[in-house]
């Protein structure tokens, strides 16, 4: 079929545009060499036929599924940008304004979060993380651990897993920084907030009280997802970060990147 998408972005363009509105000036750094170069959105985090079933005729099955998530995220973030810009024009507190907007429009919060959940499992870095767990266990693991043969099987298993629903059920904390956030080829990831232990991929998210999930949303906004286990705290929180705190979050993003670190071209 001539209309199939061959160049498949495992970190989609609608997300990368947050760091390059003109689509041409992403600053991409190779973790392996330390070398940086300017790249277009179209040429970043892309792989030929990445999501296709290797045992069937190519049909863009998962590309079509992801279009819905990406379209909803794009619409939600256009509104996000508009409200953020308006808050500046009116001299409003941006953290409180964005928190109030997403509280009033819970559908938009869900759209952003559902998209983030797909980025948790749709990248090569995610697949390699689970493959590493299986190798360390010395044998097969249940759930996503049984779907590590290729990106098609792994991503499809992620879509049918409870990961999306679990992330939506977590509390969302919006972090704002004037200094700016970076992102990577593995934008959404989880960590154990109390130790250096690496959580089991997809196994503890939304279940273990110590595991949080993180994803940069734009150059100035970051989503931190915190377990919501009946402590009475609001579903949405917002906070402005210091320069030091921003650097710490950027270090987490850089550390979890598989290979490519993405920044805005200054």
Q: Which two tokens stand for residue 90?
A: 């009116």
Number of H helices, E strands in the chain: 8, 11
**How many angstroms separate the CA atoms of 152 and 65, rounded?**
12
* pLDDT digit string (tens) for the chain, length 266 residues: 468 999 999 999 999 999 998 888 899 999 999 999 999 999 999 999 999 999 999 999 999 999 999 999 999 999 999 999 999 999 999 999 999 999 999 999 999 999 999 999 999 999 999 999 999 999 889 999 999 999 999 999 999 999 999 999 999 999 999 999 999 999 999 999 999 899 999 999 999 999 999 999 999 999 999 998 665 667 899 999 999 999 999 999 999 999 999 999 87
SS (H, E, C) 138-206: CCCCCHHHHCCCCHHHHHHHHHHCCHHHHHHHCEEEEEECCCCCCEECCCCEEEECCCCCCCCCCCCCC
pTM for the model stands at 0.96
The domain segmentation of the chain, as residue ranges, is 7-264
DSSP class of 84: H
Q: Which residue has the tokens 């061959």?
A: 6
Place of tokens 């507190």: 93
- C-alpha span between 143 and 70 (Å, rounded): 25
The pair phi, psi for residue 168, each rounded to 5°, is: -60, -35
């Amino acid at each position: 079929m001539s209309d199939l998408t061959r160049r498949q972005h495992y970190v989609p363009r609608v997300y990368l545009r947050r760091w390059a509105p003109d689509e041409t000036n992403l600053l991409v750094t190779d973790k392996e060499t330390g070398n940086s170069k300017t790249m277009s959105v179209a040429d970043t985090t892309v792989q030929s036929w990445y999501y296709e079933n290797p045992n069937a005729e190519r049909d863009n099955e998962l590309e079509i599924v992801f279009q819905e998530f990406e379209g909803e995220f794009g619409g939600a973030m256009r509104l996000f940008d508009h409200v953020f810009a308006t808050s500046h024009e009116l001299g409003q507190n941006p953290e409180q304004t964005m928190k109030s907007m997403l509280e009033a429009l819970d559908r938009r919060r869900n759209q952003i979060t559902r998209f983030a959940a797909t980025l948790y499992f749709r990248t090569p870095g995610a697949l390699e993380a689970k493959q590493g767990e299986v190798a360390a266990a010395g044998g097969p693991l249940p759930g996503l651990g049984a779907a590590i043969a290729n990106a098609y099987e792994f991503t499809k298993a992620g879509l049918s897993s409870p990961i999306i629903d679990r992330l939506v059920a977590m509390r969302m904390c919006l972090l704002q920084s004037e200094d700016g956030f970076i992102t990577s080829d593995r934008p959404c990831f989880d960590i154990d907030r109390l130790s250096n232990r690496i959580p089991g991929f997809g196994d503890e998210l939304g279940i273990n009280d110590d595991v949080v999930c993180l994803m940069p949303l734009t150059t100035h906004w970051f989503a931190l997802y915190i377990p919501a286990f009946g402590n009475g705290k609001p579903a949405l929180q917002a906070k402005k970060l210091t320069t030091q705190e921003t650097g710490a979050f950027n270090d987490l993003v850089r550390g979890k990147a598989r290979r490519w670190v993405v920044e805005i071209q200054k």
